[in-house]
Amino acid sequence: MDARGDRRPGRGGTARRQGRRGSGRHPQPGKAHPVRPEPTRRPVKDVTVLTNPAAGSGRAAGVAGAAVARLRELGVRTHVEAGTDPRDALRRARAAVDRGVDALVVVGGDGMAALAVQALAGTDVPLGVVPAGTGNDVARQYGLPRGNPGAAAEVVAAGRTLRVDTGLVETADGTSRYFVSVLAIGFDSLVSDRANRMRRPRGRARYNIAMLRELAGLRPLPFRLVLDGGREVIARDLALASVGNSRSYGGGMLICPDADPCDGLLDLTLVDAMPRARLVRFFPTVFTGGHVRRSEVTTRRTTSLRVESPGINVYADGDHVGPLPAEIRVVPRSLSLLVPD
């Protein structure tokens, strides 16, 4: 799903980061990492549940019913909303926040969670997630119950709240969007562009076909990246670049395996341009996070970033945002999230 967030200029300060190319670590000067926040308890007695019945190939409707039933058993007043499209769903999410609910709960995949973040970032209203999508990377990051809507509802009712970072990206066309997981630029965004243009097949098969077609025309992508307002400039050909507030995207691909959504920093993973056959062998290592030990990979941590590359679009949490160049920054502890014990 796609939605527009607030339009705000990107700014960033300095903080301690680590850069890494291959297996070597290169500490860089700056402030120490902030102390990790402790979860707090808050009463959750009145929630709005926002559903996407199409998520998880249609499984979300049944998941929503089970989660709502469990919430009501636990004494939580539950109002159910289903948007007719992403814009309507975002309007309903913002209206729920304005009403002053104890939590906004989404039933669906990462797209639904990302949509809710556009309404919740910068507020004290927490996000609850009942996973019902295909990727569920938000659930993976925070240990939320998958495949058990009753248990996910119990997490909401328990009210254990963690304050986490978000990222904020503004693209060349003026679109501004918060993200909670990973921002993708490069080969993976070209694959998403192609998949979005295809009418069939449906589901993950369409993405796989799009990937094979993009591999056939693979070319080096010239990038220029400016970290922390000029602390470091990287200009070279890449296959892809990913900016992680958390570790994974695409249903468990650990593209930024060391990312911590509570450290006030964004993790940057850069993969050098390489021959097609080598890139095919490279991709499986992303599922384990082992790719960051390879010589073709550079990692950095930063509070802000400017990215330039002609003809490349930005995808945040799996959704299209807009074209490069883009300004990206971390927004520390800007989102409340309901998490398990």
Q: Catalytic residues, which ones?
A: 319
Residue with tokens 């989660």, as numbered in its chain: 67
Decide: 299 and 291 in contact? Cβ < 8 Å.
no
Annotate 285-301 with b (16+ C-beta within 10 A) or e (fewer).
ebeebebbeeebbbbbb
CA dist., res. 33 & res. 289, Å (int): 22
User: Which residues are CB-neighbours of 290 under 8 A, at least 6 positions away?
Assistant: none
Residue with tokens 């990492």, as numbered in its chain: 33
CA dist., res. 291 & res. 281, Å (int): 11
CA dist., res. 175 & res. 3, Å (int): 10
Bridge partners of 106, per DSSP, are 50, 129
Decide: 30 and 17 in contact? Cβ < 8 Å.
yes
User: Which residues are CB-neighbours of 60 under 8 A, at least 6 positions away?
Assistant: 51, 52, 53, 54, 107, 108, 132, 133
Of 133, 123, 165, 141, whose CA–CA distance to 52 is shortest? Answer: 133
CA dist., res. 47 & res. 328, Å (int): 32
Angle at 133 between CA 127 and CA 79, to 5 degrees: 45
**Residue 104 region by backbone torsions, left for phi larger than 0, else alpha for psi between -120 and 50, else beta:** beta
